Chains A and B, each alone.
Chain A
Amino acid sequence: MRKILATSILSLGLASAAYAEPVKIGVITTLSGGGAGLGIDMRDAFTLAMKQSGNKDIELVIEDDAQKPEIAVQLAEKMIQSDKVDLLTGIIWSNLAMAVVPNTVAQDIIYLSPNAGPSALAGANCNANYFNVAYQNDNFHEAMGQYANKDYKKTFILAPNYPAGKDALTGFKRFYKGELAGEVYTQVGQTDYAAEIAQIRDSGADSVFFFLPGGMGISFMKQYAQSGVKTPVMGPGFSFDQDVLGAIGDAALGVKNSATWSKDLDNDANKKFVEAFKTEYKRLPSIYAAQSWDTANLILAALSKASVKDKDAFKAALKAADFKSVRGKFVFNNNNHPIQNVYVREVVKEDNVLTNKIVATAFEDHKDAYADKCKM
């Protein structure tokens, strides 16, 4: 009797082990340096989603890329070769994604992007192992271009001189029908915009569109507000998101910006997410946190349907995107990039905290411009 009991317990143990195999997820993100705010929001939302799922079989390997491509590449190699991760995710910046993603997916490791969406990975070089849960880089800017047609005829446009900056202005121009009062590329990491603001003043523009992520946008907005130039500004949501609004201050009030997510988006998943994030971290979540939360929930949903060891079944489960997105409806296009709404938000003050509220929908079920070139 005793022996039978022992064997049955043993076999039970074995059975449960075989059923719930451990899953290892590598998270490479920016946790130090000037861009750390974005990566920390990404990491915090991701770990919170995993914690709330109660899934004990998931192991996270989280490392800091310091916003440097060469470090990100080394970390990816280490995670694939020695940690033997099943999935990789976490990268915020496009130049780092370009350094890591092609090599990772070539080794048949699945990569899920919680933020960067460089155009080079969306078109002819799309890959069945690469899932972008965030957006294609052009999307936010396209939405602002579309929205600008309503009010403006002569816009001055401005972005840093690097791939995502060029994607940004290309995206804006794709939908904007008015005339350009000027098109300026600034240095990456530039902190003083006096020379550019002087040109805006002189250009006779009726509006300004700028894409300057992180600290660059904070500097620009503060200097712009003080310069005496009254031309209205607009930009993608990155420049007016929760991570930077506090530092810009009231200068941002009333500015229109585009995003696929906002904390007032009316759906249950989003309410739950905003509440959970606020309770856990005592601050409001950003776009990066929202996208990362979706990435985590997409992985969890796919894991409940298929084993991560069965690559094809798991990829099919990811592609089905059968999860409750904080952005409401969420579907993958043929190139594994989302088809989603893009909204226009306005910066407002609630309970003395600057935040955004949705004022319009620029696109419904928007697809990126590169999907046709993807042979999937």
Chain B
Amino acid sequence: MSTALLIEQLLNGLQLGVMLFLMAAGLTLIFGVMGLINLAHGSLYMIGAFACAVVASLTGSFWLGLIASLAAAAAAGAIMEVVVIRRLYDRDHLDQVLATFALILIFSEGSRWVFGSFPLYLDIPPVLQGAVSLPGGGQYQLYRLAIIAVGIAVALGLYLLISRTRLGMRIRAGESDREMIAALGIDIQTLYTIVFALGAALAGLAGALVGALQSVQVGMGEPVLILAFVVIVIGGIGSIKGALIGAILVGLIDTMGRFLLPKTLALILPAAQAGMVGGALASMLIYIVMALILAFRPRGLFAA
């Protein structure tokens, strides 16, 4: 095993983590401020990817697609909040889970109606095509480096937004005592819609960025949603900082597990078997880590 391979895998882990952060940030923000479990967050990710693929194929520009994905996901999020979610804040979590699960089905079958059942095509923009050389002789895909950069920029932006702006102050206030800020004359309904749209836009951005790497298809959001939930549970529900650390932890553990476990097992087992057992163990690894973290810190690493 060479250093180049190790560096490449670390970057892969970081990139997966950053992508998960974009999903988890919105999810944890919505839970922290509104106390709502939003299973349909994966659908917003899908909407972002579809919007980007459609606009990019119509205009030929990935960047317009990216803007469209932000707009479409934010709009879908805002409409969702006003029409459905608003009625759920006072209900218990089971009602929220049921209603947002119904939304997943509606969004999935709705996109199938509009776009058909076959995956759409979305390519990486020409500027970011190809690979760059890494120190140590390896190569790394430029687009993935760009995703890492976007993720870090978003994390920084969110930090500034929440700690330095008036909106951020209101969000923090909403997290700690929502009756009180309503009593202070802040329009809590609008605040909720804004937070929801912000979370949705981040999910849409993640969908569009990842859509260029993967296949843009119905149901693409759900596997990511599960990982995003793992991330916010590990990080502590409601904490953006927890979401960042949790996401990078999950990204690194998952990638390194998939890479190192079969290799380690190959020392004691025949190659084919090591691959199978290692692969199976690697897919469990993040859940084992989650269970361990919860055993020692039941409210997550950075409980709000």
Q: Which residues of A contact B (CB under 8 A)?
A: 31-34, 36-37, 40, 161, 166, 169, 180, 182-187, 189, 191-192, 194-196, 198-199, 201-202, 215, 218-219, 222-223, 226-228, 243-244, 246-249
Contacts and interface: CB of A to CB of B under 8 A. Distances in A.
Contact of B119 (A33, A37, A187): A37
Contacts of A244: 118-119, 215
Contact of B276 (A182, A185, A246): A185
A246 B216 CA distance: 11
Contacts of B131: 226-228
Contacts of A223: 141, 213-214
B139 A226 contact: no
Contacts of A37: 117-119
B193 interface: no
Nearest to B133: A228
Contact of A192 (B112, B124, B213): B213
For chain B, give the interface size range.
35 or more
Interface in B1-46: 1-2, 4-5, 8-9, 12, 15-16
A20 B83 CA distance: 54
Interface stretch (B152-160, B173-181, B255-263): B255-263
A248 B280 CA distance: 27
A202 B5 contact: yes
A201 B220 contact: no
B271 A180 contact: yes
B217 A185 contact: no
Nearest to B218: A34
Contact of A194 (B1, B255, B272, B275): B255
B229 interface: no
B219 interface: yes
A188 to B, nearest CB: 9
A32 B16 CA distance: 28
Contact of B272 (A183, A198, A215, A218): A183
B218 A161 contact: no
Interface in B244-284: 255, 258-259, 262, 271-272, 275-276, 278-280, 282-283
Given A199-B5, A199-B259, A215 B214 contact: yes
A306 B262 CA distance: 55
A180 B15 CA distance: 29
B8 A201 contact: yes
B215 A215 contact: yes
A56 B43 CA distance: 42
B122 to A, nearest CB: 8
11 contacts: A36-B112, A180-B271, A187-B282, A192-B12, A192-B16, A192-B214, A194-B12, A198-B5, A244-B119, A244-B215, A246-B119
B210 to A, nearest CB: 8
B259 A195 contact: yes
B118 A32 contact: no
A161 B119 contact: no
Nearest to B119: A247
B11 to A, nearest CB: 8
A218 B224 CA distance: 17
A31 B124 CA distance: 30
Contact of A247 (B2, B15, B120, B275): B120
A161 B280 CA distance: 7
Contacts of B15: 194
Contacts of B109: 32
Nearest to A160: B279
Interface in B120-178: 120-121, 123-124, 129-131, 138-141, 143-144
Contacts of B276: 161, 166, 185
A166 B121 CA distance: 29
A34 B219 contact: yes
Contacts of A32: 108-109, 112, 218
A37 B215 CA distance: 13
Most A Cβ at <10 Å: residue of B140, B258, B282: B258
A191 B210 CA distance: 9
Contacts of A186: 258, 279
Contacts of A219: 213-215
A31 B118 CA distance: 11
B16 A194 contact: yes
Contact of A249 (B108, B123, B262): B123
The CB with the most chain A CB atoms within 10 A, among B129, B141, B217, B262, is that of B217
A222 B214 contact: yes
B223 interface: yes
Closest 6 CB pairs of A and B: A228-B131, A218-B215, A185-B279, A247-B119, A194-B12, A219-B214
A226 B129 contact: yes
B279 A226 contact: no
B9 A198 contact: yes
Nearest to A219: B214
A312 to B, nearest CB: 39
Nearest to B215: A218
A249 B12 contact: no
A180 B272 CA distance: 10
Contacts of A161: 276, 279-280, 283
Nearest to A192: B16
Nearest to B1: A202
The residue in B120, B124, B130, B214 that gathers the most chain A C-beta atoms within 10 A of its C-beta is: B214
Contacts of A189: 223
B215 A247 contact: yes
A32 B210 CA distance: 22
A34 B217 contact: yes
A347 to B, nearest CB: 14
B192 to A, nearest CB: 31
A194 B117 contact: no
Contacts of B129: 226
A340 B186 CA distance: 73
Nearest to A286: B118
A215 B141 contact: no
Contacts of B212: 222
